[in-house]
Amino acid sequence: MEVGSGWRLFLAAVVLAAACGAQQDPGEDYKISLDVDLVLLEVAVSGPGGVFVSGLERDQFRVYENGRRQATRHFQQQDVPATIGLVVDTSGSMRSRHPQVTSALVALSEASHPNDQTFVVNFNDRVSFGLPAGVDFTNDRTQLKQALTSTLPDGRTALHDALLLALEHLRKGKHTRKALVVVSDGGDNASRRRFHEVLRAAQSSSTLIYTIGLLDEENRDRKPRILKALARETGAEAFLSVKTPDVFEICRRIAMDMRSRYSIGYVPAATVKPEAYRAIRVEVTGGKDWKVRTRRGYSAPAVPTSSSEEDE
């Protein structure tokens, strides 16, 4: 496979349609095109008190890749549907918290875009999908609640395995905007995969990873830095040391955050080599107290070696 071809396959997850400047019906989703190597950023801007800043114009944003200013090819703030994965810790230590967590995640779904497609990954010693076999996504609240309660809390915690499964499943989603909402008491003591694999997969996708840490001080396996790193790297938010009753309000905030994003696209000014990490920085003019959140960078995947090359 040629390098250009491999890069385009990666960008299928993070590009917009070639007609990115055209007006679009708010009810329609973005369409993916492999003809334009347009990197898509989901950008959140908030002011004092965490209030989302809306109504900004294209020329107020400056995008840098590896320190080099990029020309913006697409700009839009639009409440569009998303593909969302709920990744829920169902280990034994979550037993007493699970009913409230389930209710809060249903509340998140109710506050999200009505055309979102959602799936559930439950994890303890094992990782499993909550929806019935053959059902990849749902926007039915009753079906979603059943998916969240399909696994009884028990056993240990396979967080890394769950995240990698969820990131892979997101590729089946039809919406360009993609997110994971991860609820865990922290740590991992049952996964076969390592955290660096999870981080690499997150950097090679356009997924926002929101994390809610119900951290138990007695849990020696808890690792809040992992939850924080995933959110920071992908431009989402990490909520750590959360009390169970606060999960409701946090879930509503996450829903609003996803629906208040600016979508900014640019074609990289420099050639991107396979496996190279590209650092991203976005600046906004107009408010000195504004906070900008977007992914910190991205990694292009390695180009697979062809069978003919392997035989040589």
* Torsion sign over Cα 58, 61, 65, 68: positive
CATH number at 144 reads 3.40.50.410
Domain that holds residue 109: 82-259
Distance CA 217, CA 240 (A): 12
- Same domain for 162 and 30: no
Q: With contact defined as beta carbons under 8 Å apart, do 6 and 274 qualify?
A: yes
- For residue 70, list its beta bridge partners: 63
- Same domain for 131 and 66: no
* Torsion sign over Cα 203, 205, 208, 209: negative
Total number of domains in the chain: 2
pLDDT on residue 297: 95
How long a stretch of residues is the chain?
312
- Same domain for 151 and 9: no
- Same domain for 90 and 234: yes
pLDDT on residue 218: 65
- Same domain for 216 and 89: yes
- Same domain for 121 and 12: no
Distance CA 196, CA 34 (A): 29
Neighbouring residues of 247: CB distance < 8 A, sequence distance ≥ 6: 100, 101, 104, 183, 212, 214
Reading the chain (312 residues) residue by residue, the pLDDT tens digits are 333 433 343 443 444 433 333 334 444 444 433 335 789 999 999 999 889 999 999 999 999 999 999 999 999 998 999 999 999 999 998 898 999 999 999 999 999 999 999 999 999 999 999 999 999 999 999 999 999 999 999 999 999 999 999 999 999 999 999 999 999 976 899 999 999 999 999 999 999 999 999 876 666 666 788 999 999 999 999 999 888 899 999 999 999 999 999 999 999 987 767 778 999 999 999 988 999 999 999 987 655 444 333 333
| Residue 94 DSSP label | G
pLDDT on residue 221: 64
Global confidence as pTM: 0.85
Burial of 252 from C-beta contacts in 10 A (0-12 / 13-18 / 19+): middle
Q: For residue 72, give both structure tokens.
A: 């913006």
Provide the edge-to-edge strand list for the sheet that holds 208-213.
127-129, 117-123, 82-89, 177-184, 208-213, 238-239
Q: For residue 79, give both structure tokens.
A: 């409440």
- Same domain for 227 and 211: yes
Report the chain's C-alpha Rg in angstroms. 19
- Same domain for 163 and 47: no
User: Strand pairing of 297-299 and 68-70?
Assistant: unpaired
Q: Which of 161, 153, 217 is nearest to 188 (CA)?
A: 161
pLDDT on residue 31: 41
- Same domain for 72 and 91: no
